[in-house]
């Protein structure tokens, strides 16, 4: 049998090196940003990007216990948070909320469609992801009504496409789709 501990040790060493370099680069960027005063705290973007890389690396690559669904959701949530951070540092013109978040949700919807076709034998297991996308895009619609999102077109598109994708899967899927929802939500 191959020695898998050696591979684990190499990944662990690479992870520690990346962590060390991220801390050094983060501290260095904060020091440079403080020394050369600017109106923009660009070091927050650098530190946020390094934190995003570390989260992706440690949670998504090295964490063998987390399932792919939680990895995808955490990756998407951290990516959206990073977009909002960049927008906030650059003056919060709300491009991240108006365009970035709905675009990320639309990309995620497209990914669900692709994965459903790739895993055609088990396509119904992605119905829960579709419901999650309806909820996420529904939050964007609520933010439109609250006036936080000022350009609602992409938010409405993300909400509509999420619903269309779910309804198409449910209607076309027939018995397999309804059985999956019954199984997931313990409904008789």
SS3 40: coil
Specify the pTM.
0.79
CA–CA distance, 125 with 112 (Å, rounded to integer): 11
Q: Quick: pLDDT tens for 159-178.
A: 999 999 999 998 988 888 88
Q: What is the mean pLDDT of the chain?
A: 87
CA–CA distance, 114 with 123 (Å, rounded to integer): 10
Residue 12, pLDDT score = 80
Over residues 46-70, mean pLDDT: 82
Among 129, 41, 140, 38, CA closest to 97 = 140
If one compares 50 and 62, the residue with the highest pLDDT of the two is 50
First to last CA, the chain: 47
**Long-range contacts (CB closer than 8 Å, 24 or more residues apart) made by 23-27:** 25/50, 26/50
> What is each CA distance from 36 to 21, 25, 45, 111, in whole angstroms?
22, 16, 16, 42
> What is each CA distance from 81 to 78, 104, 186, in whole angstroms?
5, 11, 33
Checking if the pLDDT of 188 tops 60, the result is: no
Over residues 83-104, mean pLDDT: 92
CA–CA distance, 88 with 131 (Å, rounded to integer): 29
Residue 187, pLDDT score = 63
Over residues 106-115, mean pLDDT: 90
Distance of CA 143 to the CA centre of its chain: 18
């Amino acid at each position: 049998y191959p020695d898998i501990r050696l591979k684990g040790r190499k990944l662990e060493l690479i992870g520690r090196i990346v962590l060390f370099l991220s801390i050094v680069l983060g501290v260095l960027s904060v020091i440079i940003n403080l020394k050369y005063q600017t109106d923009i705290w660009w070091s927050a973007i650098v530190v946020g990007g390094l934190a995003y890389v570390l989260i992706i690396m440690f949670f998504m690559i090295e964490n063998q216990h987390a399932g792919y669904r939680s990895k995808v959701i955490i990756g998407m949530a951290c990516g959206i948070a990073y977009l909002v951070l960049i927008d906030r540092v650059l003056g919060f013109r709300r491009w991240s909320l108006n365009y970035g978040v709905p675009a990320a949700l639309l990309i995620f919807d497209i990914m669900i469609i692709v994965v459903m076709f790739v895993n055609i034998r088990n396509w119904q297991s992605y119905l829960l992801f579709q419901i999650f996308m309806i909820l996420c895009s529904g939050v964007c619609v609520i933010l439109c009504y609250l006036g936080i999102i000022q350009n609602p077109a992409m938010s409405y598109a993300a909400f509509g496409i999420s619903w269309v994708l779910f309804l198409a899967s449910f209607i076309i899927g027939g018995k397999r789709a309804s059985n999956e929802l019954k199984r997931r939500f313990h409904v008789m």
